[in-house]
Amino acid sequence: MLAETQTWVIATRSQTTARRTTIADVAREAGVNKGTVSRALRGIPGVGASTRERIIETADRLDFSASHLATALASGQSRTVGIVLPTLRSWYFSEFASGASEVLSPSGFRVELINLDVDSDFLEVDSPQFRKLFRELGAGRGRDALLFGGTISTERNEHNADSARVPVLAPGSPLTSVPGIFVDNRMGGRLIAEHLLALGHRNIAIFDGRMAGKRDYHVWDQRTDGLRDTIREAGFDIDSRNVVRPGDCHAADGERAMNVLLASGRKLPTGIFCHTDEMAFGAMAVLRAVGLRCPDDLSIAAFDDHPMSRWWGLTTVSQHAHEQGVRAANAMINAVSGDGNGSEKEQPELQVELVVRGTTGPVPHDAA
């Protein structure tokens, strides 16, 4: 078993399930003809205000959507994909959505961004919020698929392909799921450890990005374990006092963590692994303010490959956020156009990659 993290999952509306609500159903219920329903839902003039209001109320009550109505009438599909994101304020989800959109739009799909606006990357697929999305999808309410960006912790068995699937079936909803992309956070930590050890670093700290009370702790544990296990294999260890948890994973948290380390009065570590690039940005800003430089005085490495990491010269592990979106979209297209049972084409596994830049270097002579 490999404890990894599923960063997206797709739920598609089955093509062979219970009958969807049709425009004829809405017309019959509202007491009008189909043409009137079509004009009312598309905002075309010629429908009285009270009639339009009655039609809209009826369509909503019957879970009917007029998104891409002409296509829906012709094929039974809306050609609409909902990309569900925990937040729009994260660079990662912007990159993910951008990659997915670059595939979906040219393929004839309409992309709808659904912002959950939550303070965690972790997706709780059993929550009432998600069950509502699944019910709407199963009812054919204007979307053919939901593509979820975020973190779902699961155990992956390399000998069992079904273990890569996340069960997203809501009771009574005719949905199917397809495999997500796994980000090997443990391997990312190992790559950082091997890099720092090769540069002579033995006194290494970790800035842990977990949020108190949040369920996405597996991500941080895996990144830490990959680093710590590799260091132990080399015959060394990490001082527990050098594991700093500032409360989150953003730049301000990196500032807090570095200030804690500087205020401890202990000898500074020669290398720091930040769980995210944003934490590293904040940590480096503090070092600059007190006259210390990377890597002359201290090496810093991180995880993500944020678009700004190149400009900071930050050594990091790339998880290929944009490519994740591309692959998610391709898998979704295969699922929607297939037999509805998730029989998508196999894609090569996406590997994390160490990107060495200027914030890491040999241990300073006076710290050796």
β partners of residue 301: 273, 315
Euclidean distance between CA atoms 339 and 176, whole angstroms: 11
Q: Which residues fall within 8 angstroms of residue 319, CB to CB, at 6 or more apart?
A: 7, 183, 188, 303, 304, 305, 352
Q: Which residues fall within 8 angstroms of residue 173, CB to CB, at 6 or more apart?
A: 134, 135, 137, 138, 139
Q: Which residues fall within 8 angstroms of residue 115, CB to CB, at 6 or more apart?
A: 85, 87, 88
* pLDDT tens column, 114-144: 888 777 676 666 667 666 776 666 545 567 7
pLDDT surpassing 50 at residue 343: no
Euclidean distance between CA atoms 90 and 275, whole angstroms: 15
| pLDDT score of 59 | 81
| pLDDT score of 34 | 83
Q: How confident is the model at residue 164 (pLDDT cuts 50, 70, 90)?
A: very low
Rg of the chain in Å (alpha carbons): 25
Euclidean distance between CA atoms 274 and 213, whole angstroms: 20
The more confidently predicted of residues 42 and 193 is: 193
| HSE of 124, CA atoms in CB hemisphere, 13 A | 11
Euclidean distance between CA atoms 178 and 15, whole angstroms: 15
Backbone φ and ψ for 149, nearest 5 degrees, come out as -100, 140
Q: Taking residues 338-353, report their average pLDDT.
A: 62
Q: Which two tokens stand for residue 54?
A: 């009655």
* pLDDT tens column, 294-303: 999 999 999 9
| pLDDT score of 299 | 98
* pLDDT tens column, 216-253: 688 899 999 999 999 999 999 999 999 999 999 999 99
What are the residue ranges of helices labelled H in 3-113? 23-30, 34-42, 49-61, 69-75, 91-104
Percent of the chain with pLDDT over 90: 43
Q: Given CA atoms 237, 240, 244, 249 in this order, what sign does their dihedral have?
A: positive
| pLDDT, averaged across the chain | 80
* pLDDT tens column, 20-68: 677 788 889 999 988 888 777 766 677 888 898 888 888 878 866 544 3
Euclidean distance between CA atoms 196 and 277, whole angstroms: 16
* pLDDT tens column, 106-121: 888 888 888 887 776 7
Euclidean distance between CA atoms 68 and 57, whole angstroms: 19
Residue corresponding to tokens 């089955």: 14
| pLDDT score of 13 | 57
The more confidently predicted of residues 122 and 187 is: 187
- Using alpha carbons, select from 337, 361, 355, 334 the residue that is nearest to residue 345: 334
Q: Which of 133-147, 180-194, 246-260 has the highest mean pLDDT?
A: 246-260
Q: In 10 A of CB 6, how many CB atoms?
A: 21
